[in-house]
Amino acid sequence: MKFFVDTAEIDAIRELNDLGMVDGVTTNPSLILKSGRDILEVTKEICDLVSGPVSAEVIATEADVMIAEGRKLAAIAPNIAVKVPLTWDGLKACKVLTGEGHMVNVTLCFSANQALLAAKAGATFISPFIGRLDDINIDGMDLIADIRTIYDNYGFETQILAASIRTVNHVLESARIGADVMTAPPSVIKAMASHPLTDKGLDTFLKDAAKAGIRIL
């Protein structure tokens, strides 16, 4: 499974990238706002930092303007994936932009039918939002499973990018089902290393080392 980090914070991306934990980055207008940076400036910096796809989102709602914005974003760097919403206009933009050779991430997917349309339109990535479905008492993992089955049935090359991931269990279940990619905040990726039994075992080892007077350096 590929790990994308869902942030526009350069320091957080750099830390995870140095550990080999970053296969790509996803951003959106909310994350750009949080960073306090200009979208073109911070996106270029992220693209220079990581070698994998960097999703940068259009803000238009009409296809023609989405396409124009997508072309401008794609010109930032070769590893830009233009992010468009899963609307009819977004699908039109996806078709044109992928036809021009650009990577496209179709976002805000909440149904398998939507994912099927995105694959037909040539999307590079489809981003089903797990956490937001959970918020309305719908199991987001069922959506990941349905998309995986449909894509495998027909050999679609669109990659399933599990998004709106809020917990380490979301990561685990997405990996079990076979999502190609997951995108999560740095805090969730770091939390994957934590386990109470690891902490307990380490505490025991350190106490025993102190009792034994063990020194290595």
Give me the residue spans of the domains in the chain.
2-191
83 is catalytic: yes
Classify domain 2-191 at the CATH class level: alpha beta
pLDDT at 210: 94
Average pLDDT over residues 26-38: 93
Residue 147: per-residue pLDDT? 98
Q: Which residues pair with 160 in a beta bridge?
A: 126
Give the other-Cβ count within 10 Å of 19's Cβ: 10
pLDDT category, 172, cuts 50, 70, 90? Answer: very high
Q: What is the mean pLDDT of residues 3-20?
A: 97
Distance CA 128, CA 1 (A): 16
Among residues 44, 83, 92, 95, the one annotated as catalytic is 83
Q: What percent of the chain is predicted at pLDDT more than 90? A: 100
> CA–CA separation, 112 vs 130, rounded Å?
12
In this prediction, residues 181-205 reach a mean pLDDT of 97
User: Which residues are 5's β-sheet partners?
Assistant: 25, 184
How confident is residue 69, by pLDDT bands cut at 50, 70 and 90?
very high
- Which pLDDT value is given to residue 18? 96
pTM, to two decimals: 0.95
pLDDT band for 45, please (50, 70, 90 cuts).
very high
Tell me how far CA of residue 34 lies from CA of 26, 37, 141, in angstroms: 14, 8, 28
